[in-house]
Structure formats: structure tokens, C-alpha cells
């Protein structure tokens, strides 16, 4: 007699249909990426048939000066944007957490506006803004990246603020009181107790800001002046002619950077939940 | 009480939040070296008062003096008091040692002396072997010891404790009662503890202040609170009490009698009371001060030992029995329907069946047992 294994109500993974569905979802999600990565090692100019393994596209991508410059610009922009976003986002989160002030509710809801507004609208708005204020277009490198950095900060720092704000919700106010009670000034209490508590949120938010800035295309496209180019914009311009394995190779590198950043962010958040 | 012996003086202090008065004109003096408890139900203002001592809240009116210094303009980080928080508030990102050393940074203690002082404080709370632990590897009881050491290492003039035992389990709570009292004895620092648990306050404190709805009800030693409560609230809040409304009928220097409709009889006091005749008053009788006697159908009531006949004896029926091991509590229905509580120690292992459900009983008490309450 075939044994029928009893199944708990929430034991979905023991259902064959559910397993197949799950596999389907993963295939749908990751096949395009896998193909992109696979063909970055393909010894053929056409992205269709597998001809053999090679690193030459990576070498070629690396030798492409423009592409290299674009990647460096992107990393520089993302780095500066991260630092500014973390500071602004943390301060904003702290202000909303700590203080009561008029219009706090609408302001707090407005905090997520840059997240929900379609990027294309945001891009146009940024373009119009810089034109209206007459932002100098001819600054020497690397200051000609300022516009892109400013644009990136505007949409990246609310992410930091939201992550840090959520983290602060779990803060035990008695910890701050204890620091004051032991002789710390309000600033020392902030530095010694509140910032360490925020830290996982700062790291997670910072990495979020970094990856958002690194792969942003639409807003960057509108904000970039003549002569400034970032990695996604450069890749787009290369793809306009044809998708070469060189683009695959470059994209693979970006995927790698993003994955590493995400893993770090998740780790930071895991530390958060473990503590509380 | 002279000023020199008073460490904390609270003068007419009130705290209002909008229309709510959390603390209402409280005046209080705490002598140096005392273990003092602020006792009351939740929301009575005891924690607000403690937070005003620590400096986290400022009084709306009145003044607080600590060691003779007006605290009106002094922020919490400059006050000579330290606090053990209800959540312990041990810094999670620091080791035990770092937690205890944290407060010394602000006291200009030389780095060389810090180590010794921290370790001494940890030894005081028996945690010196766990100095390098992180708080998340410790039990609640151990974290509380860290919080204690962290506060005591600063050698404060007053140690404030906010519900120190509420988060511990029953056995540990009892052990900590003794340990806290011993620690206080050893360090000689004034302890001010907030608690809603009357057992805790009575067991540990030298004196207690009972608060209700922002007002100070009575300040006295534990035994005086229990045996000589100032009003109905204190009588009812500290321990259990049977309260009867009545009017003062006889008021002589050496005895008094209260007529109570609620009890359905007269209550005799073998001492004089201060009160006005004819006025509405209350009489409280503690459950353990009442004697239970078997009652036969149609038999005459037992004569009271020291009171005129018809006083301090009443008839009833056993309705409920709570067996608590060391004692049993009997709920007795009086003839007029009022319920009364009587407790009896279980002195022998065998006579627990002495009284059982539906037994007809007499309740009798001495003339020195009831207490007269005017409000």
C-alpha cells in the first residue's frame, strides 16, 4: 500500500504543482540574466550561437576608454550620492522620529514622492529645473557631474530616510535617557547610542542609494550635460548599433557590483532583526 | 527632620500635561541613606515623580531639591542621581564592561582608575566574571545587574529604580528583593524605587509613599501603612481589607463604637478614636485579624472577649475557599448579603478540612483589630 504522507496546511513546498510553479517563476526571472552572462564569455561576435569560451570581451570592454570612463563616472557619482543621501536621509528620519512640528503628516507622506513619481517625469523636472536656475553647464571635470549627483541625491535619499525611519521605530527611548542619566550631553547620547542603533539602517539605506544611483538611466539621461556620460547611458548608446558581447561583459560587471552591494545590504538588515 | 539629613526634598510639586494632572501638589522628604518606595496603581503619577527626580520631566509647579540644591534648571546629565530603567536600557552594542564604564567618561575619572572602579561595581552585583559579554548573551536578571552596576559605579547621591523587579520571574524576583536590600545596605546610597507591587514595597523599603491619581496619600513605614492606614485607599491598596461604612455612636477616650448597617451590627474599638459623632466613616478589618468559629443552628453567638455583647461578632456562611498553601482565604457571606474575607494560616498539615463550603460560621475579632477611616 502506498504510504500517503500527511501534509501540514502551510507545507506548500511538498506539493509538486507548487514546486513546478516555483521553478517556473525562477526560470522566468533569471533566464535573461543567465543568457546575458553566458554570452559575455562567447567566442563569437553574434549573440546567437555558442562558439566557445573566452575572456576577450572583458578585455575589449576594459580597453574601451569611453566605457571605462563612463564606469568610473558612475562609481564616482554613486559614491558621492551615497554619502550625501545617507547624511540627509538619516537627518530627515531622525527629525520625523524625534520632533513634532506643523504639517509633519503631509511632509512625511511627501517624503516618498520622489519614489513614486515616474522617473521620466522626474527626469524632465530635473532638466527644466537646471535650465531655469541657469546651472553652469561648462564646469571642469569632475564638477560637471554635479547635476547628475544632485539629481540622484533627490531620488535616493528618501530611500535612506524610509529605511532609517523604520529602524528608529524599534529604538527604546530609555537607552537615550540612560545615556543622559549617566552624564552624556544630548549630542553625546545621539552619537553614542542613537547612531549605533541606526547603523544597520544607514548601511542598508546607503547601499540602496548606491545601487539606485549606479544603474539609473532615465534621470541621468536628462540631467547629464554635454561631455558627461555614465555607464548605463554609455551602454545604451552602444546597444543602439548592436548588442555586442562587449556590452554583455560590461553588464555582467555591473550585475556583479549590484549583487555584492545587495548581499551586503541584506546582511546589514539581518543584523538589524537579530538585535531586536 | 533637619536639612542636613534630607537628601531629597519635593516641595509642592505638580506636573500637568494639558488638562491632565499627573502629579498633584506633592510634598515629600527623603532622608539620606533610606530605601524609599513610591507605591501606587498604574497611572498614579509615581513614575512621573521619579522622572522629575531624574530630570527627564520638569515640574509644572513646585521645586525639587537634591542634597539642598534646587534642581529647577539642572538637566539630567548634571544631576547627582542615577537610574535603573524599567527596560534596564543596557546599551546593546557595548560589552558589559563598556556599559559600566560609559558613565565614568563624563566624570573625569582617570583611565587607570576606571578599570578598578568598573570591576568593583561589577563585583558588587556579582557580574565580574562576565565583563566581556555582550548584553544579548545575558538573561534579564543579569542585564538588570549590569544596569545596577552602571548606575552605582557613578557613586550617585540617589539611585532611582523604576519598577526594578517587574520583568523578572517569581523566584528571581523574591531573591532580588533581598539582594537589592542588601546591596543598598552595603553601598549606603539612598534608593528611591517606583513600584505598583505592594509586596515588593513592603518587603524592601524602609518607608513608602502611597500615591493615587497624582496625590500623595500617605508616607509611612510598611507596618504603619498596613496597620494604621490613613484612608480607605491605602487600607485597600496595601493588602486586603474588609471595609464597612458606618457612623460613630460612642466616642470616649478609652473606647468607641461604630454602628454599621453594612455589617449589620456594631463595631467596638478598645481605644479612643479621633472623629466626630454622627459622621459617616469607614471601618477596615484585615482578613487575618478575624477569627472563624463553628456555628450551630439556633445557638447563641459567642461572647466577644473584650467587647460589650453584640459587638465584633457576626454570623455568616462559607462561600469560597482559596487554598494558598501557607494560608487559606475564606469568602464568607454575611446574613445581610455582604461578603467578607477571612484568612487563616494552615498551622497543621491535617486540619485543612476544618471549615468547608456552606459551613455556618461566626466571625469574631478583637477590639484592637478594626481601624477607623475618615476618608
Please give the Cα distance from A122 to B199 (Å, whole number).
65
Contact between B15 and B57 under an 8 Å Cβ cutoff? The reply is yes
On chain B, the residues whose CB falls within 8 A of the CB of A183 are: 77-78, 103, 105-107, 154
Residues of B in contact with A172 (CB under 8 A): 87, 89
Cβ separation of A180 and B86 shorter than 8 Å? no
B87: which chain A residues are within 8 Å (Cβ-Cβ)? 172, 174
Chain B: give the shortest CA distance to residue A178, in Å.
6
Question: Which of the pair, B193 or A258, is modelled with greater confidence?
Answer: B193
Query: pLDDT of A227-238, one tens digit each?
Result: 788 988 888 888
SS3 B340: strand
* A183 part of contact set with chain B, CB < 8 Å: yes
Q: Does A192 touch chain B (CB under 8 A)?
A: yes
> Secondary structure of A44-110 in the HEC alphabet?
CCCCCCCCCECCHHHHHHHHCHHHHHHHHHHHHHHHHHHHHHHHHHHHHHHHHHHCCCCCHHHHHHH
Mutate to test the interface with A, among B77, B99, B109, B147 (most CBs of A within 10 A): B77
Q: Is the pLDDT higher at A144 or at B194?
A: B194
Inspect the interface and report whether the beta carbons of B75 and A174 lie closer than 8 Å. no
Q: Are B110 and B168 in contact (CB under 8 A)?
A: no
Q: In DSSP terms, which residues pair with B190 in a beta bridge? A: B158
Picking from A178, A179, A186, A194 by the largest number of B CB atoms within 10 A of its own CB, the best residue to mutate is A178
φ, ψ of residue B8 in degrees (nearest 5): -125, 130
Would you state the pLDDT for residue A276? Answer: 46
Determine the length of chain A.
Answer: 276
* Closest by Cα among B302, B299, B308 to B270: B308
Establish whether the linkage from the previous residue to A57 is cis, with ω within 30° of 0.
no
Indicate the DSSP class of residue B44: S
What whole-number distance in Å separates Cα of residue B366 and Cα of residue B306? 7
If you measure CA to CA, which chain B residue comes closest to A177? B56
d(CA B216, CA B223): 18
Residues of A in contact with B106 (CB under 8 A): 182-184, 188
- The domain locations on chain A are 75-275
Cα→Cα distances A21→A10, A13, A28, A144, B283, Å: 16, 10, 11, 49, 76
CATH pick for A75-275 out of 3.50.50.60, 3.40.1010.10, 1.10.3720.10, 2.30.42.10? 1.10.3720.10
Q: Is the sign of the CA dihedral A73, A74, A79, A83 positive or negative?
A: positive
- Give me the mean pLDDT over the A1-7 stretch: 64
**DSSP helix/strand/coil, B87:** coil
Q: Does the ipTM exceed 0.95?
A: no
Q: Is the pLDDT of residue A274 over 70?
A: no
Question: Is A5's pLDDT higher than 70?
Answer: no
- Angle, alpha carbons B325-B331-B332 (nearest 5°): 135
CB pairs under 8 A between A and B: 64
Hunting for cell 507596618 — which residue is that? B223
Residues 6+ apart with CB under 8 A from A22: A13
Contact between B85 and A177 using a beta-carbon 8 Å cutoff: yes
> Which CA distances in Å does B45 have to A29, B40, B208?
59, 8, 14
In CATH, what number does B240-373 get? 2.40.50.140
For residues B134, B138, B143, B145, the Cα torsion angle rounded to the nearest 10 degrees is -100
Q: Is the pLDDT assigned to residue A122 strictly greater than 70? A: yes
Measuring CA to CA, how many Å separate B320 from each of A54, B339, B341?
89, 10, 10
Pair type for strands B215-220 and B265-269 = unpaired
- Distance, in Å, from the CA atom of A44 to the CA atom of A36, rounded to the nearest integer, reads 14
| Beta carbons within 8 Å of A164's beta carbon, 6+ residues apart | A89, A90, A93, A94, A198, A201, A202, A205
Q: Scanning every residue of chain B, which has its alpha carbon at the shortest distance from the alpha carbon of A271?
A: B93
Phi, psi angle pair for A47, to nearest 5°: -90, 40
Q: Is A174 on the interface with B (CB under 8 A)?
A: yes
Per-residue pLDDT averaged across A203-217, rounded?
90
Where are the domain boundaries for CATH 2.40.50.140 in chain B? 240-373
Sign of CA dihedral A178, A189, B157, B98: positive
Does any CB of chain A come closer than 8 Å to the CB of residue B143?
A: no
Find the closest chain A residue to B162 by CA distance: A174
| Domain made up of B3-231: CATH architecture | 3-Layer(aba) Sandwich (3.40)
Beta strands B35-39 and B207-212: pairing type? parallel
Which of A181, A185, A268 to probe the B interface (max B CBs under 10 A)? A181
Please give the residue of chain A at the shortest CA–CA distance from B54: A181
**Beta-strand runs (E) in B240-298:** 242-251, 256-260, 265-269, 280-285, 291-294
User: Is residue A271 less than 8 Å (CB to CB) from chain B?
Assistant: no
The stretches in chain B having pLDDT less than 50 are 1-3
Neighbours of A87 (CB within 10 A): 15
Confirm or reject contact between A180 and chain B (CB < 8 A).
yes
Interface probe with A: pick from B51, B92, B99, B108, most Cβ of A within 10 Å: B92
B129 in Cβ contact with B164 (< 8 Å):
no
Q: Helix or strand or coil: residue B63? A: strand
Angle at A185 between CA A179 and CA A187, to 5 degrees: 95
Q: Whose grid coordinates read 455589617?
A: B263
Choice between A261 and B244, residue whose per-residue pLDDT is larger: B244
Amino acid at each position: 500500500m502506498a504510504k500517503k504522507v500527511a501534509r501540514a496546511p502551510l507545507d506548500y513546498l511538498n506539493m509538486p504543482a507548487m514546486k513546478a510553479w516555483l521553478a517556473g517563476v525562477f526560470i522566468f526571472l533569471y533566464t535573461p540574466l543567465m543568457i546575458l552572462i553566458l554570452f559575455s564569455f562567447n567566442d563569437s561576435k553574434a549573440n546567437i550561437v555558442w562558439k566557445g569560451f573566452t575572456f576577450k570581451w572583458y578585455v575589449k570592454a576594459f580597453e574601451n576608454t569611453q566605457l571605462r570612463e563612463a564606469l568610473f563616472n558612475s562609481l564616482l557619482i554613486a559614491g558621492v550620492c551615497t554619502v550625501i543621501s545617507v547624511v540627509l536621509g538619516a537627518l530627515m528620519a531622525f527629525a520625523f522620529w524625534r520632533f513634532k512640528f506643523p504639517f509633519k503628516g503631509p511632509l512625511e507622506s511627501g517624503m516618498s514622492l520622489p519614489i513614486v513619481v515616474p522617473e521620466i517625469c522626474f527626469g524632465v523636472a530635473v532638466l527644466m529645473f537646471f535650465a531655469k536656475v541657469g546651472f553652469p553647464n561648462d564646469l571642469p571635470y569632475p564638477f560637471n557631474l554635479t547635476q547628475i549627483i544632485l539629481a540622484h541625491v533627490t531620488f535616493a535619499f528618501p530611500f535612506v530616510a524610509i529605511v532609517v525611519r523604520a529602524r528608529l521605530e524599534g529604538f527604546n527611548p530609555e537607552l537615550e535617557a540612560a545615556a543622559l542619566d549617566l552624564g552624556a550631553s544630548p549630542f553625546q547620547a545621539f552619537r553614542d547610542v542613537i547612531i549605533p542603533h541606526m547603523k544597520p539602517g544607514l548601511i542598508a539605506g546607503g547601499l540602496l542609494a548606491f545601487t539606485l544611483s549606479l544603474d539609473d538611466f532615465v534621470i541621468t539621461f536628462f540631467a547629464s550635460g554635454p561631455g558627461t556620460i555614465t555607464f548605463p547611458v554609455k551602454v545604451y548608446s552602444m546597444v543602439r548599433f548592436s548588442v555586442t558581447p562587449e556590452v554583455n561583459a560590461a553588464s555582467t560587471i555591473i550585475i556583479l557590483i549590484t549583487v555584492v552591494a545587495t548581499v551586503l545590504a541584506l546582511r546589514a538588515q539581518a543584523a538589524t532583526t537579530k538585535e531586536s | 527632620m533637619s536639612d542636613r539629613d534630607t537628601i531629597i526634598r519635593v516641595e509642592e510639586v505638580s506636573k500637568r500635561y494639558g488638562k491632565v494632572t499627573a502629579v498633584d501638589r506633592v510634598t515629600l522628604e527623603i532622608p539620606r541613606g533610606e530605601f524609599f518606595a513610591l507605591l501606587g496603581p498604574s497611572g498614579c503619577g509615581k513614575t512621573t515623580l521619579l522622572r522629575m527626580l531624574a530630570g527627564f520631566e520638569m515640574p509644572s509647579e513646585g521645586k525639587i531639591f537634591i542634597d539642598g540644591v534646587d534642581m529647577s534648571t539642572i538637566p539630567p546629565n548634571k544631576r547627582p542621581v542615577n537610574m535603573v530603567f524599567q527596560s534596564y536600557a543596557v546599551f546593546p552594542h557595548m560589552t558589559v564592561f563598556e556599559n559600566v564604564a560609559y558613565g565614568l567618561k563624563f566624570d573625569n575619572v582617570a583611565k587607570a582608575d576606571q578599570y578598578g572602579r568598573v570591576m568593583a561595581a561589577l563585583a558588587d552585583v556579582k557580574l565580574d566574571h562576565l565583563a566581556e559579554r555582550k548584553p544579548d548573551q545575558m538573561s534579564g536578571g543579569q542585564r538588570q545587574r549590569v544596569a545596577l552596576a552602571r548606575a552605582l559605579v557613578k557613586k550617585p547621591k540617589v539611585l532611582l529604580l523604576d519598577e526594578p523587579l517587574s520583568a523578572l520571574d517569581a523566584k528571581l524576583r523574591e531573591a532580588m528583593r533581598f539582594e537589592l536590600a542588601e546591596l543598598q545596605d552595603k553601598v549606603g546610597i539612598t534608593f528611591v524605587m517606583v513600584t505598583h507591587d505592594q509586596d515588593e514595597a513592603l518587603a524592601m523599603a524602609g518607608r513608602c509613599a502611597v500615591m493615587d491619581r497624582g496625590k500623595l496619600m500617605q508616607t509611612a513605614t510598611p507596618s504603619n501603612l498596613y496597620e494604621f492606614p490613613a484612608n480607605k485607599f491605602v487600607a485597600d491598596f496595601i493588602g486586603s481589607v474588609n471595609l464597612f461604612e458606618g457612623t460613630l455612636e460612642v466616642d470616649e477616650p478609652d473606647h468607641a463604637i461604630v454602628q454599621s448597617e453594612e455589617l449589620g451590627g456594631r463595631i467596638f474599638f478598645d481605644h479612643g478614636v479621633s472623629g466626630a459623632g454622627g459622621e459617616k466613616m469607614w471601618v477596615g478589618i484585615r482578613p487575618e485579624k478575624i477569627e472563624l468559629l463553628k456555628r450551630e443552628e439556633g445557638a447563641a453567638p459567642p461572647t466577644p472577649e473584650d467587647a460589650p455583647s453584640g459587638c465584633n461578632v457576626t454570623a455568616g456562611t462559607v462561600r469560597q475557599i482559596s487554598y494558598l498553601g501557607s494560608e487559606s482565604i475564606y469568602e464568607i457571606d454575611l446574613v445581610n448579603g455582604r461578603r467578607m474575607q477571612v484568612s487563616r494560616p494552615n498551622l497543621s498539615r491535617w486540619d485543612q478540612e476544618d471549615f468547608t463550603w456552606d459551613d455556618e460560621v461566626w466571625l469574631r475579632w478583637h477590639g484592637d483589630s478594626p481601624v477607623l477611616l475618615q476618608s
